[in-house]
Structure 1
Amino acid sequence: MFTGIVTDVGEVVVREDIPAGQRVRIATHFDPKTIAVGASIACSGVCHTVIEAGAMDDGRNFFVVESAKETLDLTTASEWAVGRKLNLERSLQMGDELGGHLVLGHVDGMAEIVERVDHPDSVFYKLRAPDQLARFIPQKGSVALDGCSLTVNDVDGDDFTIFLIPHTIAHTTFGEKQVGDKINLEVDMMARYIARLSEYKPS
């Protein structure tokens, strides 16, 4: 479980194919002494299990995760080449401040940036959600985009808009995102459960 508040921007430093999918080593500011093998870290919104952590020869800290084929098919993990920057968040602990919204790290699909407009005090993005997910995205509701908890501004069919403040741009990977880029999308789990309950008809 996560909150959608990014606490580090990591960098892919090693990527290799494995029979199950891919394995990546990610440089991070997180102290490896505090990362247990088996711990969960959201990598650009995708919950991954840590299989190794330590320090590299250049002094940077790292952890290693593996992505299975389904993850590669449904998320941007298939694009994680060496040098790729990733939003990172460690799992929520009991008693932590819930600064964003409850995020599972289970990405539902990918949205696409269709418009970006830079303003002096914000950046405007219009994104297009997959048709089957658009109904879960309400105006003024919450979404997780590449692991960031964000508030939806407007909704128009499959399109929705967000505004990002300079702090978010500076401390996440969104500053690099441009029109045409794919973004990991996790809809608010409350919207998903409510939709399921409204559809369910006992036999």
Structure 2
Amino acid sequence: MAFPPPPPGPWTSASSPGYSVYATPLPALEALEAGNLPLASSLAEAVSLPPLPDFLISDANRGIWRRRLDLVNRDPEQFAWISRLVVYEDVGVKKGPGDEEKGGVIVGRIGFHGKPDERGTVEVGYEISPEHRRKGHAKAAVGIMIEVARRAKGVNVLKASVEPDNLASRKVVEGAGLKKVGRKVHARRGLEDIFEMDVSQ
């Protein structure tokens, strides 16, 4: 089944003021997968993204970029759904005495695991940079993804997979309205609880 792609973004939501979810340029994803943060940052800067944090080239994240790039290589339509960056706009960058402008900071990554499956399900996955955790960033970013899923034509279900001992992530998805529907054993991550939400229009 063919699904129209979501809007290019940046994605925002009135329920998450100050936050935007930006597409990661494909060449920047390739640079991140290679562990080349300076190159990735220069490519991201060209599309007005803030500096990229080091956590984006952790071993775990490089593995994610590799899997996402493999997915896109097999099916270019996947790119519109995957691997975006969470930008938080904070007032505090002063241009002059008494004058302030917003300064964006990348606080994490988020995206769908791919385009919708045959039942119209998209799965959301995210990670917040360690220094920005427990500050509400995940809640805000997931809120944006819920709104995107609701607006996307043909999407019926939003899904999230959470390891049973990841209480912080469980709190985020349950707080967003997703309900536990079962468990599965993932080939790489092990046991996971499955949460879902009806987002059909």
**In which range does the TM-score fall when normalised by the shorter chain?**
0.3 to 0.5
Q: TM-score, normalised by structure 2?
A: 0.36
Which protein, 1 or 2, shows the higher relative CO under an 8 Å CA cutoff with sep ≥ 6?
1
Q: TM-score, normalised by structure 1?
A: 0.35
Question: Which one has a larger percent strand, Structure 1 or Structure 2?
Answer: 1
Question: Which one has a larger percent helix, Structure 1 or Structure 2?
Answer: 2
